[in-house]
Each structure stands twice: as C-alpha cells, then as structure tokens.
C-alpha cells in the first residue's frame, strides 16, 4: 500500500492524520490553505486540543509530511467541510465534490477514496458517483468509494479517536474490511461495516438525536422559568427514573456538527420531518431567549448601560478554541440587528480579537462588567470563581453556585 493521503487538515483531518502516522502508517496531509500547511511544516499546531501536541510530536518523529498539493497514491481520506445551504437546508456538497475531483486528477488506478466528512444520506450516490463516472472511472475497478464518518468531540479528540467505535460504509465487504484494517492501526473500539447509505444516515441520525434531546432540555428550561422552578433540580429528579436521561439546557447549539447535520434531513425530507425541524428551531431560538432573559435581569437590577454587561465565552463549547456557529456569535449577530453596541466579550481560549467589544485581559473584563452572562463553562472560569462574587450573573451553563444575584436558565 502507498502513502495515506489525508485531504483537509482542519479539526478532524489533522488529528486523524497524526493518529495514523503515530501508529505506523505512512501519512501525507494535504490542505489547500497554504498558510495552514506552512504552519504545520514549521512544526507548529494550528489549533489547541488536549493531548494534540504530544500526538503531533510523535507523528513528526514518525515522518508525517504536509503538502499543498495532492500526491499520487492509492488511498485517500477526505475531511473537508460540509455545511448546509441556508435557503434549501440541503448539504452544500461542493467542497467534497471538488476534493474528490482533485483526487481523480492524480490517484493511482484502483485507489480507495474514503469520505470522512459528514454527508447527508445519498450524497455519494447523488453527487460523487456521477462526477467519478463522468471522468471515465469505473467504480469498483478503477476506484473504490467509501464513507467512514467521524464521531470525535472537540476537547477530547485524542482519547475518542482511539476509543470510540466507528462505522465504515463501502460498496463491497472486501473494501470495507480493507479500510477497517487501516483504522485498526489505532482504533480500539468496534468497527462496524455496512453499505454507504446506511453509514451516511447513521452519522446524521446520531447528531440529530443529540439535537432533539438538547431541545427537550431547553424547552423544559423555558417552562420552568415561567413557573419559577429550578430546571436543574427537576432534571436531576426525573433522571432518577431508571429509563430517563434528560440532558442539560444551554444557551443554544453551535459547532460544525449538531447545529448543521439535522438540517440535511430537514432539507431532504421536508414532507416527513416534524420533531427534527422543531428541535432545530428550539435550539436556534435559544440565543434570542437568553437575550430576553438578559433584558429582564437588567431591568430588575436597574442596569441601563450595555457597557456594564459582559459575555463570558465565545466558543461553541467549553475548553476548545472553535467559534463556529457558537451561541455567543449568534447573540452578537442579533445584537447588531438591534443596534446594541459596547457590550464586553471575553474568552480565554480565543487569543485573537474576533468580535467587536472583545477584551483580551480577564481582569479588565471583570472590572468593566457589572452583569456577566456565562455562555461557556470553560475550566478557566471554574478556576476563577472568586472574581464573580459581587457580580450579577446569568449562568446559562449551571456552573456557578446558587446565590442572591445568580440567575439560571
């Protein structure tokens, strides 16, 4: 077998490539973002993640290479973005189609092309096979297509890469087994093989399941607020039931997965989806709901100056530096609509200023903000709870002890 070419070195492609390389596979990682490739070639990581530096050092020792151009080989794993189209809610397949097309320009005859990006059910049939066939390749002979979706969670990627189970969908059991062999180099979890469409559906369904369950918790938070009840106590009690496991409410859902993938089902099955669409709307409505709560807390405490308000946390979850689709960004978007300026924003994980009002110094943020809205439960805040006393707090992550001026969702 030739080198394994990882195409797309973002949050998924990079750790995956490093994991393969550290476990004895000859890996080259390719990305069309030239500065990203140069950073990696200069032996610097492109994002922060627990355990990634150690894995990077090991992969470098084992000879991983990074390239701006695709090389000719017989195996590729594609990890490029797969957003949804805002109007139709269907998958935006152009990045993955373009990556496959570029692979076809260089690959060896009989190459295996695995799409690891999350794709809507039927994407390989609808978008990839036609492109491959138009180029004169015979699928199953000149080229083999497969789908191996990824389940890792940012913040615990390295552990989960090794320990999660995986799904591999391929056109034939032989190809599925071959790919399973590659992943077995590091994956201690079960590796289930199936057909391509079931693999595509399974990943999207997993994230949709999470979205619906989060929406349920969020809806409970709203009901409890109206009734003056503590939603966390309620969930705690209900979860004592042996077959109940309600998740925690929060300020909304962000990131590149849960807030995106359920839309694929909404876009493709508009006449069937009810719960899935409702859940998306509940979760997408949470930033507005938090803004509403902020308004009433400000009124109750006679705060009229927005520059006395601070948003803690910009990322979509705790202890990562990924901002994509985060509830805080969604809130700031809404504020723009209402011409609100001057709010303070702080996130210890985001070292560059990405939004208006962002402050890099935590002491300054605390000093300026009389009312703090906790939107992300970073460990950093858990380690600095003492600075919050005397503040008015809206704690959307339930990490702060109940107090006179501590409001919960």
Point out the residues that are catalytic. Answer: 203, 257
Only one of the segments 2-10, 164-172, 234-242, 379-387 lies at the binding site for ligand NAD (rule: CB under 6 A); that segment is 2-10
For position 175 contacting ligand NAD by CB under 6 A, the verdict is: no
For position 193 contacting ligand NAD by CB under 6 A, the verdict is: no
CB of 83 to ligand NAD, least distance (A): 8
CB of 81 to ligand NAD, least distance (A): 5
9 vs 104 by CB, closer to ligand NAD:
9
CB of 205 to ligand NAD, least distance (A): 14
Only one of the segments 28-36, 129-137, 211-219, 395-403 lies at the binding site for ligand NAD (rule: CB under 6 A); that segment is 28-36
Position among 79, 218, 283, 396 found at the interface with ligand NAD (CB under 6 A): 79
d(CA 55, CA 302): 51
Residue 385, CA distances (Å) to 320, 382, 389 in order: 19, 6, 8
Give the list of residues 6+ apart from residue 198 with CB closer than 8 angstroms, or none.
Answer: 169
Give the list of residues 6+ apart from residue 104 with CB closer than 8 angstroms, or none.
Answer: 131, 132, 135, 137, 143
CB of 239 to ligand NAD, least distance (A): 26
Q: Show the site string, 137-156: x = touches ligand NAD by CB under 6 A, - = not.
A: -------------x-x-x--
Buried/exposed 161-172: b ≥16 CB within 10 Å, e otherwise: beebebbbbbbe
For position 167 contacting ligand NAD by CB under 6 A, the verdict is: no
For position 11 contacting ligand NAD by CB under 6 A, the verdict is: yes
Q: Show the site string, 234-263: x = touches ligand NAD by CB under 6 A, - = not.
A: ----------------------xx------
The number of CA neighbours under 13 Å toward the Cβ of 47 is 18
Give the list of residues 6+ apart from residue 87 with CB closer than 8 angstroms, or none.
Answer: none
Only one of the segments 8-16, 245-253, 327-335, 390-398 lies at the binding site for ligand NAD (rule: CB under 6 A); that segment is 8-16
For position 31 contacting ligand NAD by CB under 6 A, the verdict is: yes
Residues binding ligand NAD: what is the number (CB under 6 A)?
27
Q: Which residues in 36-55 contact ligand NAD (CB under 6 A)?
A: 36
11 vs 312 by CB, closer to ligand NAD:
11
Angle of the 196-227 helix axis to the 261-268 helix axis, nearest 10:
110
**Residue nearest ligand NAD by beta-carbon distance:** 10
CB of 5 to ligand NAD, least distance (A): 10
Position among 22, 117, 315, 326 found at the interface with ligand NAD (CB under 6 A): 117
For position 124 contacting ligand NAD by CB under 6 A, the verdict is: no
Instruction: Return the bridge partners of 74, or none.
Output: none
φ/ψ of residue 207, rounded to 5: -70, -30
Q: Which residues in 81-110 contact ligand NAD (CB under 6 A)?
A: 81-82, 95, 98-99, 102
For position 6 contacting ligand NAD by CB under 6 A, the verdict is: no
For position 283 contacting ligand NAD by CB under 6 A, the verdict is: no
Only one of the segments 9-17, 55-63, 122-130, 391-399 lies at the binding site for ligand NAD (rule: CB under 6 A); that segment is 9-17
84 vs 407 by CB, closer to ligand NAD:
84
CB of 257 to ligand NAD, least distance (A): 5
d(CA 77, CA 348): 33
CB of 294 to ligand NAD, least distance (A): 28
Task: Report the 10 Å Cβ neighbour count for 226.
Answer: 8
Interface residue list for ligand NAD (CB under 6 A): 7-13, 30-33, 36, 79-82, 95, 98-99, 102, 117-118, 150, 152, 154, 256-257
């Amino acid at each position: 077998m030739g080198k394994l070419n990882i195409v797309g070195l973002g949050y998924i492609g990079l750790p995956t490539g490093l994991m393969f390389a550290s476990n004895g596979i000859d890996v080259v990682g390719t990305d069309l973002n030239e500065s990203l490739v140069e950073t990696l070639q200069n032996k610097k990581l492109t994002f922060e993640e627990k355990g990634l530096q150690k894995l990077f050092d090991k992969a470098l020792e084992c000879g991983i290479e990074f390239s701006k151009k695709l090389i000719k080989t017989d195996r590729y794993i594609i990890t490029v973005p797969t957003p949804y189209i805002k109007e139709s809610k269907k998958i935006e397949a152009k990045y993955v189609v373009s990556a496959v097309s570029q692979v076809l320009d260089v690959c060896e005859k009989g190459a295996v092309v695995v799409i690891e990006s999350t794709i809507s059910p039927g994407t390989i049939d609808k978008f990839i096979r036609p492109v491959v066939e138009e180029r004169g390749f015979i699928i199953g002979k000149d080229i083999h297509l497969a789908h191996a979706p990824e389940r890792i969670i940012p913040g615990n990627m390295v552990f989960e890469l090794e320990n999660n189970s995986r799904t591999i969908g391929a056109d034939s059991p032989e190809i599925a087994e071959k790919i399973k062999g590659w992943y077995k180099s590091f994956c201690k979890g079960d590796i289930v093989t199936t057909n391509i469409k079931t693999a595509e559906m399974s990943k999207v369904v997993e994230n949709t399941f999470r979205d619906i369950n989060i929406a349920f918790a969020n809806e409970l938070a709203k009901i409890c607020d109206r009734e003056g009840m503590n939603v966390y106590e309620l969930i705690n009690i209900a979860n004592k039931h042996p077959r109940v496991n309600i998740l925690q409410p929060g300020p909304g859902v962000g990131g590149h997965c849960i807030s995106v993938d359920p839309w694929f089902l909404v876009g493709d099955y508009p006449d069937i989806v009810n719960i899935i669409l409702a859940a998306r709307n509940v979760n997408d409505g949470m930033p507005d709901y938090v803004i509403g709560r902020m308004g009433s807390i400000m009124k109750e405490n006679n705060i009229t100056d927005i520059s006395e308000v601070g948003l803690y946390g910009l990322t979509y979850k705790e202890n990562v530096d990924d901002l994509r689709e985060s509830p805080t960004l969604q809130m700031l978007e809404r504020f723009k609509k209402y011409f609100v300026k001057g709010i303070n924003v702080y996130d210890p994980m985001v070292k560059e200023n990405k939004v208006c009002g962002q402050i890099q110094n935590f002491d300054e943020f605390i000093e300026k903000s009389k009312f703090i809205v906790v939107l992300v439960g970073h460990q950093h805040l858990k380690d600095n709870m003492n600075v919050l006393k005397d503040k008015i707090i809206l704690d959307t992550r339930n990490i702060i002890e109940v107090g006179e001026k501590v409001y919960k969702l």
